[in-house]
Structure 1
Amino acid sequence: MAETSAPDPSELDAASELDAVSELDTAGDREFDVVVYGATGFVGALTAEYLANHAPQGTSIALAGRSRSKLESTRRGLPSRAADWPLLVADADDEAALTDIASRTQVVITTVGPYAKFGRTLAHVCAAQGTDYVDLTGEVLFARLSADQNHDLAHSTGARIVHSCGFDSVPSDIGVHALYSKVHEDGAGDLTDTTLVVTSMSGGVSGGTIDSLRGQIDEITKDRAAAKMAASPYSLSPDRSIEPDLGRQSDTPIVKGADIHPDLKGWKAPFVMSSYNTRVVRRTNALLGYPYGKNFRYSEVMSVGSSPASPVIAGAVLAGLGAFVAGMAFKPTRFLLDKILPKPGDGPSEKTRQKGHFTIDVYTTTSTGDRYVSRVKAKGDPGYAATAMMLGESALALALDRDALPSVGGGVLTPASGIGDALIHRLRGAGMEISARKV
């Protein structure tokens, strides 16, 4: 089913929105380069701090949220450069106030989730106002809804609505993009079997991620159509009817390392974020016209060591993931889990955030039989310090590097299809390793 712009009746009328677009200022004439919406939250404040420390001089930035007093408190805690940043007040469901914010800036960053609950209006008004937008969502049902409601509208206004610009799903999407670029440069054919391996990772669990998971589980347990949509490997594709039939593509594979690459030892366990990241990467391939190839098969796993016990550990990880999801779906066990899981807005100490890290390797075999690997590696807690960097640099690339952006134009896009090499350049400048080579 192809994407269409079909907002709910409660949302802005698409025709009147398009009429209004012609009266908007061009992006270069707008008051702000970037607005951080949700700046009073844990990740929002980290993103604002990152921008205060790393945005180029002359970048115009504002902070937004629903409480002026909390925004003032957040601003006081930022580096002195942010002392004069304007404060903009808007609730997540205040369409008029959010439209005003979107009309005044080139790019909106939002960290306000769960996005299915708090993100729909902001994404829609940005699409209507021709305003670029980035978020941190890992919610497949929200991303699907946003694509259906906003893609055509954003394409007509030129807005780049780029979901998933944090650890969900920049390393995956950019890692595969860098891999493809190297294969294409070498003339080595298309990507075929491609597997992301989380080689090492250290960091905390985000309360916001847990809250988003709660919402997704609630929706798929009460709505059979939503459950079927979430389970489809092409649930985020722009037109699922033309996707290739490549057979079963499991979100929870247990894989022998040597089957990925002859030098990999041990067995690999399912990666908890695979069920979302894989769909983002497949959407990228479709949006760009299938440059990775029509036989591109993609999965994500994580290392559990190379000892003889690795297959047992991998099986235990799979069982644990299943038990966790089942526990979240069953009210009595959810009540107990909620007592111990991190709450939205909670986060680790600065010391813990700085000690975090991740290394991700993406392996492929090409249609010519050659093997390649890309690496995405960064310091900082993946869900906090590294995510603030990825989100901030995504917004800066959209605001400041417009001539270097992919030529797809507007729409509901992905990090690789909407920002692409401009994001890779910025992330490398921020200290992230992004490389690819033949092996």
Structure 2
Amino acid sequence: MANNRLDVVIFGASGFTGKYTVYEGVKLLENLSWGVAGRDEEKLKRTLKEVGDKVEKDLSAIPIIIADVKDENSLQKMAERAKIIVNCCGPYRFYGEPVVKACINAGTHHVDVSGEPQFMERMQLEYNDLAREKGVYIVSACGFDSIPADMGMMFLEKHFDGEVHSVETYLKSWAVGPTSGAGIHYGTWESAVYGLAHAKELSAIRKKLFKEPLPYSKPKQIKRPAVHKSDLVNAWCLPFLGSDRSVVLRSQRFLYEHEQKRPIQMQAYVQFKSLLTVLMVSFMGIIFGILAKYSFGRKLLLKYPKLFSLGFISHEGPSEESMKNTKFSVTFYGQGWPKEEALSEPTDQHTTLPSKKIVTRVTGTNPGYGSTCIALLLAATTILNEKEKLPLTGGVLPPGACFAKTNYISNLSKNGLDFEVISATETSEN
């Protein structure tokens, strides 16, 4: 890469997520050269002025790059100006691929906050080999909720001191003060609508990408009922339909294929205060799923996000107050075997049931935007500062696989995301 490149360019900086990335970037990119990019120069200037006023700094000298996802030449020029592109321009199924292509062609790394399995896995299928040849790292899912899930799995395994068989995760969010307005911005809703509408694409992609099933340890992990009361968290729960599981299993596959590490089984759930809440969420989820299958239904979902999300989604997004007063946790319940019972080959099978358990947790504030933007920028700086600790020479990778041997978790912990071991026990039951 040319020495005169900016270290980081935030693309889509004037969008909702982009603005908060710029805000966090003032601190996290302080010792780096960085710029902002997008298609509207005036909006980018207003973003820098707005953020500058907020942090009481003059950001008028920050470089502005004009780039449009519909203009390949502009994307190429943008990519050539940076060592890494922080891409905040979604939905990625529509706008992500041209940026990825431009970055690979320019030899520029790329991180984003996509939670869209079809996009992420198709990019891996189509561009992984080329990215590796170019020495470029393309890492999606660098925000909430995938970072707590994938890096939380890495943290759990590091502290297990043995061989992990399986993990269940439970996501929880709650308010610690006054909240108002929506909880999530419209862009996330749009990604979910189109993701579900084209869910059938994923099966064909996975048949090409994952030709062999992972050799999991027996017994097969129990998948709990759709609606269930969990004794682990003492709450009513549903399967979590976000990208957590798909991202985690991609990391597990990578570590098995490249480091011969036994893959861990994983199921993800979300917990609620009451059965009534679970039933309401389930009902709205059924309506959402039906409407997303049809063109007219998608139009309704996209036109009336507040109605179909019970007020949780809006074009305006959450208020500053709501974001600051929203906390989250992901609790991990892992089980496996102590290190003296570990097997030498990842395909070997145990003759005893798992006899060791561990509980870990990741917590943070403002999951959708604060924690997300911090995780996104720290992913970028980790690639820049710790490239010698990254796997292979590049590629299209999930975050757990990419950052497992870096100081990424430590840096997240210094910036608002707490990783902790709650308990670890061994039993004599086999």
TM-score range, shorter chain: 0.7 to 0.9
CA 60–345 in structure 1, closer or farther in 2 if over 3 Å, else same = farther
Matching residue within 360, 363, 379 for 1:374? 360
The answer to whether the 8 A contact 2:383-2:390 is kept is no
Cα distance, 1:395 vs. partner? 1.5
Name 2:45's counterpart in structure 1. Answer: 72
The answer to whether the 8 A contact 1:377-1:432 is kept is yes
Q: Which amino acid is 1:329 matched to?
A: K
Q: Which amino acid is 1:39 matched to?
A: A
1:341 aligns with 2:305: yes
Cα distance, 1:428 vs. partner? 0.8
1:103 aligns with 2:77: no
The answer to whether the 8 A contact 1:139-1:212 is kept is yes
Give runs of aligned pairs for residues 375-414 of structure 1, distance below 5 A.
Answer: 375-380=361-366, 382-403=367-388, 405-414=389-398
SS of 2:198's partner is helix
Q: Which moved more, 1:82-91 or 1:329-338?
A: 329-338
CA 349–316 in structure 1, closer or farther in 2 if over 3 Å, else same = closer
Q: C-alpha separation between the residues in 2 aligned to 1:158 and 1:344?
A: 40
SS of 2:256's partner is coil
Q: C-alpha separation between the residues in 2 aligned to 1:334 and 1:122?
A: 26
Name 1:239's counterpart in structure 2. Answer: 210
Instruction: Report the TM-score, using the length of structure 2 for normalisation.
Output: 0.82
Q: Which amino acid is 1:417 matched to?
A: A
Unmatched 5+ stretches in structure 2: 176-181, 307-312, 339-354, 426-430
1:426 aligns with 2:411: yes
Name 1:284's counterpart in structure 2. Answer: 251
Q: C-alpha separation between the residues in 2 aligned to 1:269 and 1:365?
A: 21
What RMSD in Å do the two structures reach over aligned CA positions?
Answer: 2.8
Name 1:82's counterpart in structure 2. Answer: 59
Cα distance, 1:302 vs. partner? 1.7
The superposition leaves residues 278-331 of structure 1 with CA deviations (integer Å, 9 ceiling, x where unpaired) of 0110000111226796462211112224xxx64x75455434322222133345
SS of 2:212's partner is helix
CA 250–209 in structure 1, closer or farther in 2 if over 3 Å, else same = farther
The answer to whether the 8 A contact 1:169-1:277 is kept is yes
Q: Which moved more, 1:135-144 or 1:343-352?
A: 343-352
Choose between structure 1 and 2: higher strand proportion: 2
Q: C-alpha separation between the residues in 1 aligned to 2:208 and 2:251?
A: 8
Cα distance, 1:248 vs. partner? 8.9
Matching residue within 234, 253, 271 for 1:265? 234
Q: C-alpha separation between the residues in 2 aligned to 1:236 and 1:69?
A: 45
Q: C-alpha separation between the residues in 2 aligned to 1:315 and 1:109?
A: 38
Matching residue within 15, 26, 33 for 1:60? 33
1:364 aligns with 2:338: no
The answer to whether the 8 A contact 1:30-1:106 is kept is no
Name 2:119's counterpart in structure 1. Answer: 142
CA 254–406 in structure 1, closer or farther in 2 if over 3 Å, else same = farther
The answer to whether the 8 A contact 1:236-1:283 is kept is no
Name 2:272's counterpart in structure 1. Answer: 304
CA 48–302 in structure 1, closer or farther in 2 if over 3 Å, else same = same
The number of residues matched between the two structures is 388
1:218 aligns with 2:197: yes
Cα distance, 1:139 vs. partner? 1.2
SS of 2:171's partner is strand
Cα distance, 1:336 vs. partner? 4.0
The answer to whether the 8 A contact 1:135-1:162 is kept is yes
CA 129–201 in structure 1, closer or farther in 2 if over 3 Å, else same = farther
Q: C-alpha separation between the residues in 1 aligned to 2:315 and 2:260?
A: 38
The answer to whether the 8 A contact 2:142-2:376 is kept is yes
Name 1:11's counterpart in structure 2. Answer: none
The superposition leaves residues 93-152 of structure 1 with CA deviations (integer Å, 9 ceiling, x where unpaired) of 322221222122111001111111111111122123221111111111111221122100
Q: Which amino acid is 1:277 matched to?
A: D
Matching residue within 69, 78, 93 for 1:116? 93
Q: C-alpha separation between the residues in 2 aligned to 1:359 and 1:237?
A: 35
The answer to whether the 8 A contact 1:270-1:317 is kept is no
Give runs of aligned pairs for residues 162-177 of structure 1, distance below 5 A.
Answer: 162-177=139-154
Q: C-alpha separation between the residues in 1 aligned to 2:326 and 2:169?
A: 20
Q: C-alpha separation between the residues in 2 aligned to 1:316 and 1:414?
A: 33
Name 2:399's counterpart in structure 1. Answer: 415
Q: C-alpha separation between the residues in 2 aligned to 1:252 and 1:94?
A: 47
Name 1:3's counterpart in structure 2. Answer: none
CA 315–77 in structure 1, closer or farther in 2 if over 3 Å, else same = closer
1:37 aligns with 2:11: yes
SS of 1:367's partner is strand
Q: Which moved more, 1:211-220 or 1:134-143?
A: 211-220
Matching residue within 206, 211, 228 for 2:203? 228
The superposition leaves residues 30-72 of structure 1 with CA deviations (integer Å, 9 ceiling, x where unpaired) of 4211100000101101101110133233x10100001111111
Q: Which amino acid is 1:372 matched to?
A: I
Name 1:20's counterpart in structure 2. Answer: none
CA 104–251 in structure 1, closer or farther in 2 if over 3 Å, else same = farther
The answer to whether the 8 A contact 1:257-1:266 is kept is yes
Cα distance, 1:332 vs. partner? 4.8
Give runs of aligned pairs for residues 136-215 of structure 1, distance below 5 A.
Answer: 136-183=113-160, 186=161, 188-189=162-163, 191-202=164-175, 204-215=183-194
SS of 2:51's partner is coil
Q: Which moved more, 1:127-136 or 1:154-163?
A: 127-136
Q: Which moved more, 1:202-211 or 1:67-76?
A: 202-211
Q: Which amino acid is 1:361 matched to?
A: T
What percent identity do the matched residue pairs reach?
24
The answer to whether the 8 A contact 1:129-1:159 is kept is no
